[in-house]
Amino acid sequence: MNQKFSPNEVIEILNGGTESEVDKVTAYLYRTYKPKVASYIFLQHGTYEEAKDIFQEVIITFLHQVWEKKFKAMSEKEMEGYFKGIAHHKWLKKKEADGRRRRREDTFLNEGHEESNAPPLERLLQKEDKQIAWQIFQKLDEICQKILIAFYVDGYSLEEIALRYELGSAEAVKLRKFRCVRKLREMLLP
């Protein structure tokens, strides 16, 4: 039987319910709001995978808001609007990041055409430098690689990286990124 919860019950259970109750509330949230968020993403020409990813981020954001006492109980209609609002914000951030990544890729591809005018020996040295840099980069631990790629290549914000890799706060990611960059710099420039 599919159980239904009021916004007050959702908050109470998420803040202090048994594991079984929390599981039921989570299932309720997925059952109730995932189709609505997915429908919004589809209207924005998003894919099923993007809708799944966005909904995961919406749930994580919602849970953090509840646990930090920043979410106030409201009507079911307002709660639906709250979920859609988070989804809208996450979707816009994703599209901005996609745009930045596309611009970087275009710039990189255009630079590649400019390099073709360089003498063959210079092009070979540039290619070898990139390969060596990549080999050194791969010596970083996995989380450093993920953080640096997410930030510099994919264009994610520190907050998005913190949520995606469960690293706590944006400040924690900022410090971790700084250490990763410093470590990479030391490896590249001994």
| Mean pLDDT in order along the chain per 10 residues (190 residues) | 86 90 92 92 90 91 89 85 92 87 71 56 68 84 90 86 89 90 82
**95 and 125 inside one domain:** no
| Residues 166 and 90 reside in one and the same domain | no
Residue 18, Cβ density class (10 Å: 0-12 exposed, 13-18 middle, ≥19 buried):
exposed
On the CB side of 175, CA atoms within 13 Å amount to 5
What are the b/e assignments for 115-153, b being 16+ CB within 10 Å? Answer: eeeeeeeeeeeeeeeeeeeeeeeeebeeebebbbebbee
CA atoms within 13 A on the CB side of 128: 6
The Cα 188–Cα 129 span in angstroms is: 11
User: Secondary structure of the chain: what % helix, strand, coil (to 5)?
Assistant: 80, 0, 20
Q: Which of 89, 115, 141 is the last residue of a domain?
A: 115
Number of structural domains in the chain: 2
Same-domain status, 30 and 98 = yes
Residues 134 and 111 in one domain: no
Q: Are residues 151 and 181 in the same domain?
A: yes
Rounded Cα distance between 133 and 128, Å, is 8
Query: Helices 48-67 and 7-16: crossing angle, nearest 10°?
Result: 70
Gyration radius (Cα) of the chain, Å: 22
Expressed as residue numbers, the domain containing 123 is: 118-190
Domain end marker among 115, 140, 169: 115
92 and 150 both lie in a single domain? no
Return d(Cα 159, Cα 149) in angstroms, integer.
15
End position of a domain, from candidates 115, 135, 154: 115
Residues 11 and 36 in one domain: yes
Q: Are residues 130 and 150 in the same domain?
A: yes
The pLDDT of residue 33 is 93
Q: What is the pLDDT of residue 110?
A: 63
pLDDT at residue 71 in the model: 83
Are the beta carbons of 175 and 151 closer than 8 angstroms? no
